Chain A
């Protein structure tokens, strides 16, 4: 691609698009991921730390899926856990059914205990397909994606977005949470699904890492492509994007489905890794947590959700632990609250975003940096999710 940078009137400067993944990022990424992947060997695969790392990676992919729609496209979803939760429940049910076939429950039968105490005597026919692992995984990915598609068609095609969209997604999460708690014969209800043999240790951790890499590269490819540019333009000013001839609704539906697919994958791995799913994993609280991780780490950055998740969840685990509890006691949560307030007030771009801004300010402008700055500026003006609301009049750059 050649762009003539006006100014100076000299010979046109040839500018290349930045590479999809810079070499150094590959090396660093490989280093970090191998460090994580080999952790079971130096801290023991039974250690809770390994358990936490795998869980946090799943959560981070979930946060990344929120970042795709929120940070890059400007759709705030407060119900992303719906897709995570369905993915998780499909896999958990499948594993539980298979586990009880081989290991009798405390009632001495071969159907899950929650079915037993709800009066079922055999696995209902519509659940039988879940006994096959490939089918369960396929359903775990397909159902959320399909649901996201239906949701997208219903809302985005009718030009419902912004706050209204956020409220609808929130309702979605509430409905699913209620559904899970009520239909306990099939979902385990309030107690959730537990006591099945989960996949632990290095082999499955590598699977999680591989999926993380695929998701990161996929997200990078998407946001770096022409589609990504359109998505960002929709985030910054959807009316203009519409006038330029882009079908905004279709782009939104597309990215929403991709994001749901990603969240479902994270949920499926989470259920297999942790060995417990509960209605909380599909509810509004968890959705909002995902939004917080993304905000703390940095919206519209790909590494931000990972930093945010590991930082917030890791800090929560450490602060709620014996060493800190002895002098913070139950007030440790105020500390977390203060952190969130500080992020919103002083570093609204999140940790990664803010450091990025600061570094860019000091750099001389290569074209890619200028482009990033434009991006950033437009994003700053549109900090609110409301596509029409955030523009400050009279401050239009260029």
Chain B
């Protein structure tokens, strides 16, 4: 008989062991989770924000804001006496991991809803999972709109809420009509600029140039040269991430002042002004629904509690605020309709209102986006914003703005849409509330 080689034997048995651990261990791991899910004395809510990887800094702050809200809700007695149990996952800034973790949260942890995602990339990667398994996602980031998934509630701003009043305000108050557009090269800036161009046209302003820098780009001397040569009197920036910091700094270094050529943007928040050194941002304008300086009692107490829990140097920003109030909206919705997904989607969440730090907000009954306030802030030397304009009332979200998409609308109260959404996933994969009008 031939002798078994020990080394190969070892390799083989190693593989077998690996197989056994995986094949045998995994079912245990999740049998335990199922057992937990059936306890039923708590309401499970998934929290899906990256705590590690490239977007961890901003996502950790969202995660913190949601935990703060959950802590407050539980301290006030929970939802109808039941405590919220956060189920935290770290998708490591990787899109496929987002999808896998979403699947785990929905199928194994059986969470009622998930608060999560920050980038459009991560949202688009989890949406097919939420749609197929009928989960509920609350998404706090401003985004490019043109989307309307049955299983997602959008609590961040869509472009019409940040832009529609901003452009006329620039014309009226800054008296500037020559715009140069600079953005990062991906979906959000492209879609936003499409709307911005339509707005420019409406008010008779001029488009002096449009340029896109690669994501993460930090060298803007050519761009700044182009701006100088174009004769533009203000810049509309949709740069994101590190590019913001680099662009503002180099803009100032090249001799532009905020009085000559202000940068107007729907993106730059307190987070970025702190990162770039506030003197570089001072005098430039940001349009957002929330600033840390918003003067409401709700905001004062929010900022206070946030700082008490996470440190006095922390700043709050609009996305965090949305992460915070969406947790409350969810809690109220569960109290109203129970934890079943379709009840939550069609009864609980639509129309839900809350006194958020930015003012009273409301989830739209038709398109499942959120009514938010519009504000324009002028950056100060200390990195905070002076609010120079506030809308008279909260603004209706419009994921398909009329001046670009006159034939499209999103309506979850429409009977033909509802009929389509009632069909099982195997027959109908279109889970969007978008319809032609």
Chain B binds chain A: yes
Residues of A in contact with B (beta carbons under 8 Å apart): 18-19, 22, 24-25, 28-29, 31-33, 35-36, 39, 42-43, 46-49, 51-53, 55, 103-104, 106-108, 114, 117-118, 178, 181-182, 184, 189-192, 194-195, 197, 274-276, 278, 280, 301-303, 306-307, 310-311, 314, 316-318, 320-322, 325-326, 329-330, 332-333, 351-352, 355-356, 359-360, 363, 366, 368-369, 372
Q: Is the CB of A22 within 8 A of B215?
A: no
Q: How far is the CA of A117 from the CA of B27 in the complex (A)?
A: 43
CA distance A29 to B11 in the complex (A): 10
**From A22, A43, A104, A311, contact of B27 by CB (8 A):** A43
Q: Which of A117, A278, A351 contacts B191 (CB 8 A)?
A: A117
By a CB distance below 8 angstroms, the chain A residues around B119 are: 190-191
CA distance A23 to B137 in the complex (A): 51
The stretch among B14-22, B355-363, B388-396 that forms the contact with chain A is B14-22
Main secondary structure on A side of the interface with B: helix
B contact residues around A53 at 8 Å (CB) = 22
Given the known interface contacts A42-B27, A192-B95, A320-B92, the answer about A181 and B108 at a Cβ–Cβ threshold of 8 Å is no
Known: A191-B121, A192-B121, A194-B124. A36 touches B19 (CB 8 A): yes
B23 touches A19 (CB 8 A): no
Check if A49 sits within 8 Å of B95, measured CB to CB. Answer: no
> Is the beta-carbon distance between A19 and B2 smaller than 8 angstroms?
yes
Q: Are the CB atoms of A310 and B22 closer together than 8 Å?
A: yes
Contacting residue for B104 out of A48, A178, A301, A359, CB 8 A: A48
Q: Report whether B10 and A352 are in contact in the complex, using a CB–CB cutoff of 8 Å.
A: yes
Q: Are A320 and B4 in contact (CB under 8 A)?
A: no
What are 18 A-B interface contacts by the 8 Å CB criterion? A18-B8, A25-B12, A28-B13, A32-B20, A35-B23, A42-B27, A48-B107, A181-B214, A182-B214, A191-B121, A191-B124, A192-B125, A276-B95, A303-B11, A317-B97, A320-B89, A326-B88, A369-B6
* B202 beta carbon closer than 8 Å to chain A: no
A22 B5 Cβ-Cβ under 8 A: yes
A330's partner among B2, B60, B96 (CB-CB below 8 A) is: B60
A36 proximity list for chain B (CB < 8 A): 19, 22-23
Closest 9 CB pairs of A and B: A32-B19, A330-B51, A320-B90, A303-B11, A191-B121, A48-B103, A35-B23, A28-B12, A25-B12
B128 touches which one: A178, A195, A366 (CB < 8 A)?
Answer: A195
- By a CB distance below 8 angstroms, the chain B residues around A322 are 87-89, 109
B310 interface residue (CB < 8 Å to A): no
* Neighbour of B95 across the interface among A24, A280, A301, CB < 8 A: A280
| A-chain residues with CB within 8 Å of residue B13 when the two chains form the complex | 28
A195–B22 contact, CB under 8 A? no
Nearest A residue to B47, CB-CB: A322
Give the residues from 151 to 208 in chain B that come closer than 8 angstroms, CB to CB, to chain A.
Answer: 185-187, 190-191
Complex interface bits, B69-106 against A, C-beta within 8 A gives 1, otherwise 0 = 00000000000000000011111101111011101100
CA of A302 to CA of B94 in the docked complex: distance in angstroms? 28
Is B244 interfacial (CB-CB < 8 Å)? no
B403 contacts A by Cβ under 8 Å: no
In the assembled complex, the Cα of A31 lies from the Cα of B18 at a distance in Å of: 12
Note all chain B residues with C-beta closer than 8 A to A321: 89-90, 101, 104
A194 near B128: Cβ-Cβ < 8 Å: yes
Asked whether any CB of chain A lies closer than 8 Å to the CB of B237, the reply is no
Please tell me the number of chain B residues within 8 Å of chain A, measured between CB atoms: 70
Q: How many A-B residue pairs have CB under 8 A?
A: 205
Please tell me which one of the listed residues B107, B185, B190, B436 contacts residue A108 in the complex, with CB atoms under 8 A apart. B436
Q: Which residues of B contact A317 (CB under 8 A)?
A: 97, 100
- B333 at interface by CB-CB < 8 Å: no
A181 — which chain B residues lie within 8 A by C-beta? 185-186, 214-215
Contacts of A276 in B (CB 8 A): 95-96, 99, 125
Is A278 within 8 A of B107, CB to CB? no
A383 to B368, CA, bound (A): 59
Chain B residues with CB below 8 A from A108, complex form: 408, 434, 436
* Known contacts A322-B109, A330-B51, A359-B6, A49 near B26 by CB under 8 Å: yes
**Contact assessment for A195 and B30 in the assembled complex, using a CB-CB cutoff below 8 Å:** no
Bound Cα distance A28, B4 (Å): 13
Cβ-defined partner of B15 (8 Å) among A43, A46, A306: A306
Q: Knowing that A22-B8, A25-B12, A36-B19 are A-B contacts, what are 11 other residue pairs whose CB atoms are under 8 Å apart, sorted by A's residue number? A: A35-B20, A48-B101, A49-B30, A53-B22, A55-B100, A108-B408, A189-B187, A276-B125, A321-B101, A351-B14, A369-B7
Residues of A within 8 A of B218 (CB): none
Whether the Cβ atoms of A356 and B104 lie closer than 8 Å is: no
Query: How far in angstroms is the closest Cβ of chain A from B54?
Result: 9
